[in-house]
Structure 1
């Protein structure tokens, strides 16, 4: 059985490099995918309250624990706090809700999903409400609630998601407990090298979502085509007797990035963790470096006028 190598976090804990993403994995699909992933050697699972499927993920994990296939302490489970609940007094209750869904007493990593906050009484995705939906709660207040999650033993590590470099620096300056992880979009089209370097100065590990791009956006104006469709990457994969996806994931891992590719297909789930038995040649790394376009598949531009929107200024 394949297993993932790990990265050491700034609190001494270890996180498997390869995890299973669960965003948009539907009812029935995600339970099977999590069970298949555990059977394939995955021990890192990326979840979020916003995804609406933590109940099913929790059931799958509990079943596998009851089978004796895995122990809870073998697993690294991530979840995230959604934007409507950034008030300090909402953070612990929201984590407790996630823990109830996952049927767990603690989580390995809890992330602030986005740096910007919505008002609690608006919809979860208030695209049409404009500034009226925005909360003025500062993520520094939110972080106080996140630290309380650690103090209560509900989260082993805490971190952020979609924070830019200046937001990281501002948070680090105010934090009692440093963020361990910054989860951001990261793929060859957006390799995040400056942000990786900035976070590394504080021991903050980058986890990359959408590591393979988003194939459903291929050909859409304004969206970068996934690098797995690049003819040179396809040729590269043949040379290593690997798939283009494995080449891309290996490239990101070589940058020190943890990757959370999403799939509900067992063969692909297995393929995505099987990336540690080859090393990319320098010229192939150089080509993948050259693919960087600083273009996002997840720009969330409809919130670009929020004071804490992170992508107007990526430094």
Structure 2
């Protein structure tokens, strides 16, 4: 391969081998194709030493190190980088000891417009992915405000100190005697108290039933999938389903299960992470966890180590044998 090689992007699978000291320039002839780089890997003949993949674009000519590979600790890396037609030519170069094998996919850029059935599902960019809990709290506060018998009891207690201070005159004593029968437990008062007690019991039963329903719903939405992957449905989407072989766009946050440390995230709905589902662009557990979601849906995906990065781990952020947790929202499918 010459030191500088130019190729034209065509829809479909992309596979290239770039030798050390060489640059591959990928041209976008129509201005309508999007490039998704998936993985960078060393082959079985790779020797000792570190090898770095650099990326530059026509819009941003600065060479950025995308990953550094070595045979002992990191022979493969999920690049997961998408380039739109606005980026222009994409230059990929390699420096170091070994050649790098690159895989990816070229496809027509996804239309930014969503179907009518997918409209109105999203809030602002800063919206909390777990905003359902706030709605539940507000409902409980409304239930508590509906108690009708409390204000009358407070009024009776506040009136008694005033009477004690003014017992010196006969006239006030007579008023107290006259008012005494009104404050005794008349049939009307007893009926009101019974009604208030009955209403409070009904509210307590209602809240207990709602809490039981929430717990049952949470248990019902926890699903066990292939390879030990589990998903917890936060929001059931109403748009198109994510299917194998089709390109999907998601927002996500990845953390380590053992300590909650975040190792990766993309929560920008204007530039979501895109990949082709079920073709090996991502770790197996991620493919399994996303399949079946519908646009607008949100779920938590728990991935055991064997369905993630396994014994090798992934650089410094993901140690070997790490279980992973992803919060995922499906933006487009």
Q: Which TM-score applies when normalising by structure 2?
A: 0.26
Who wins on radius of gyration, i.e. which is larger?
Answer: 2
Larger strand percent: 2
Larger helix percent: 1
Q: Which TM-score applies when normalising by structure 1?
A: 0.27
